[in-house]
Structure 1
Amino acid sequence: MKKLFSVILFFIFCSGFSQINSNDQVVYLDSLKRIGTLDNYQYLRVVKEYHLKKDRYDVAVYYKSGKIQMRATTTNKDILKLEGSAIYFFENGNRKKIVNYINNKPIGKEFEWYENGKIKSEIENLQGDQVGSEITKIIQYWDENNIQHVVDGEGEYTEKEENYSAISKGSVKNNLKEGVWIGNSSRYKINFTEKFINGRLISGKSIDSLGNEINYDKIIVEPIPKKGMQHFYNHISKSFRIPNYINNTVHGTLYFTFTIKKNGEIGDISVLNKDEFGLSEIAIKIIKNYKEWSIGYFRGIPIDQSFYLPITLK
């Protein structure tokens, strides 16, 4: 019986700390942690004992240099769903962040450091009573010169959002964002002003590079199928058929990445593990033919956003 997919690499990283074994899975990631290739990868993700059936899997991400970037556990070995404590590192080996996850969401105390090893912040992530209502308590914060600006939940805080190249500053009262916060995103070329009451965003306004003003009440709006994710999954399931002549000879998982463009179109569809039977090309056409998507937004600005889709063959 042929196995469709097996990306197992045997090598020792240049730092010489570990060897990948036959039960592990290694995946190339690009600079944005999307599925990449040997030509463009900046990180490697390793899921330990991938081919065993387990409730949780140890997962690690390494810089291209071989230095550790993250260690955690996941309840899903294909699309990471972090559970428990995760620790992140700078490439020089110093700790960057310690976060606790429940069902892939940061919950509880979170500590962060600067690259020189000095403490940066202590915050606490609280679960809200509904999706999107999570609250972050800001407890302590120091700048890069080790000057403390938030003391026991009171002061001025600087927040960085690495995924969006954004930085914002504002007041903290009773551990929560309060009043007017001002920031910018170099990636999307916007300046923004936001108003918070008791840690909750009340209103926001972005100004783009052309001077256009956009009002919003959510910082992130993810693109979703207009008829729901389940409708999209059903479309894949109903449309994808393995030809009878190979139906009992292949098994495994195809891994796809694609982007929902800011104009609502699907683009940049690629497959990590192209198969010899043409099944990946069939799946790409099926994904591309699904048109009904609502676009994503960052602070009111339409943005491209990537998706990761495994298709398991049975």
Structure 2
Amino acid sequence: MNKLNMLVLFLLFAGLNVLAQTPADTTYYLKNKVGYVRNKDSADYKRVVTAPGPGSNLYQINDYYIDGKKKSTAQGRMDKRMIYEGPYVSYYQNGNKQKEGTYVNNELEGEVNTYYPDGKLYVTKIYKKEGTPALRSEYIKTVKDRKGKVLVVNGNGKYHIYDEDFKQITDEGSVKDGVYDGTWTGTNDEDQISYSEIYVKGKLISGKSKDEKGNSYDYTELIVSPEFVGGTGALSVFLGRNIKYPRKCMEEGIEGTVILTFKVLKTGALSEISVTREIHKDLAKEAVRVVKLSPRWKTGYYRGVPSNILCNLPVKFVLGN
């Protein structure tokens, strides 16, 4: 399920990061859990974006594994950034469907099916928005085991969650009326962490985890995100005070948002800073320089355990009058 060193926090940024000036059949390269990369050799897959045809505002977005096999198909519209809109299907490398559903304004809505690598149905969930302001809800409708036996029917039963390779069950617990309810337990072999949690009507009431050294941690929040000391406002002030607009970009009127990826370590220090969207090499270089000056952040926690968490940060460059 979740791996501590693969958690991704999107700070002040979400959605599909494709440049606003997307021409026909533009190819991008991406790395799992990171995003866009400049070097094809470091990519896990590629994205081909085709501009809308006559009378349409929807781009076609096709992802391919490096070996050329189709990874996913989707559509999107441009609204400052690319927004998923319409049918979506993803595939395993063996060609079988992995997931299918429909996006509405960049979020899956309605019925979404997930499949085992052999093509059999695994889980059916229903997503919808309700209330004012609208809140997105998830209803776990159906769960089947690998032999096709129904474990959850009409939102009630036992839910087994597998690792990414579907080799072992990592989490399991009860589902009632479509949401977590009762006791849930799980393990993460990579990080040697086990946990037990109590849910009531889908809400986490309490949890206790144990690390590889036998230390126990109590928690009431699944994830506590790392944070710049003082919050997003203080981060904006820090960036504003330290960024020096590159002269060449200033003279040529070049603006835009550079996207950086880095890890916030358990100590609060930043590590593995890289550029996932460049705009211009001088802007990217300046964004990296300034982020390297950052003081230590508040530590992030996963299931109560101090964790290294991967973050994406947009650094916006805008020229004044």
Into which bin does the TM-score normalised by the smaller protein fall? 0.7 to 0.9
Deviation, 1:183, is 0.9
Residue 35 of structure 2 aligns to a residue whose secondary structure is coil
- 1:35 paired with 2:39, answer no
Distance 1:205 1:80 in 2: 39
The normalised TM-score by structure 1 is 0.77
Distance 2:88 2:108 in 1: 10
1:158 to 157, 160, 164: 160
Point out where structure 1 has 5 or more consecutive residues left out of the alignment.
1-6, 9-20
**1:15 counterpart residue number:** none
Do the aligned partners of residues 86 and 273 (structure 1) sit closer, same or farther apart at CA in structure 2, a change above 3 Å counting? closer
- Would you say the 8 A contact 2:249–2:283 is kept in 1? no
- 1:288 paired with 2:292, answer yes
**2:173 counterpart residue number:** 170
**1:256 counterpart residue number:** 260
Deviation, 1:235, is 3.4
**Corresponding letter in the other structure for 1:247:** M
Higher relative contact order (CA 8 A, sep 6+): 2
**2:273 counterpart residue number:** 269
Deviation, 1:158, is 0.8
Point out where structure 2 has 5 or more consecutive residues left out of the alignment.
1-17
- Would you say the 8 A contact 1:154–1:175 is kept in 2? yes
The normalised TM-score by structure 2 is 0.75
Give the % identical residues. 27
Do the aligned partners of residues 72 and 306 (structure 1) sit closer, same or farther apart at CA in structure 2, a change above 3 Å counting? farther
Do the aligned partners of residues 115 and 161 (structure 1) sit closer, same or farther apart at CA in structure 2, a change above 3 Å counting? closer
Do the aligned partners of residues 71 and 258 (structure 1) sit closer, same or farther apart at CA in structure 2, a change above 3 Å counting? same
- Would you say the 8 A contact 2:267–2:296 is kept in 1? no
Distance 1:33 1:245 in 2: 29
Do the aligned partners of residues 226 and 59 (structure 1) sit closer, same or farther apart at CA in structure 2, a change above 3 Å counting? farther
Distance 2:289 2:308 in 1: 20
- Would you say the 8 A contact 1:166–1:186 is kept in 2? no
- Would you say the 8 A contact 1:180–1:196 is kept in 2? yes
2:225 to 222, 225, 239: 222
Distance 2:157 2:46 in 1: 39
- Would you say the 8 A contact 1:166–1:187 is kept in 2? no
Matches for 1:19-34 after TM superposition, within 5 Å: 22-34=23-35
**Corresponding letter in the other structure for 1:204:** G
Point out the structure with the larger strand share: 2
Distance 2:132 2:226 in 1: 19
Matches for 1:7-22 after TM superposition, within 5 Å: 22=23
- Would you say the 8 A contact 1:256–1:309 is kept in 2? yes
Q: Deviations over 1:68-95 (max 9, x none)?
A: 2223345668976544443221112221
Matches for 1:99-248 after TM superposition, within 5 Å: 99-127=101-129, 135-160=137-162, 162=164, 167-244=170-247, 246-248=249-251
Question: For the aligned residues, what is the CA RMSD?
Answer: 3.6
**1:62 counterpart residue number:** 64
2:311 to 289, 307, 313: 307
Q: Deviations over 1:143-182 (max 9, x none)?
A: 111111112222211124649x982111222222221111
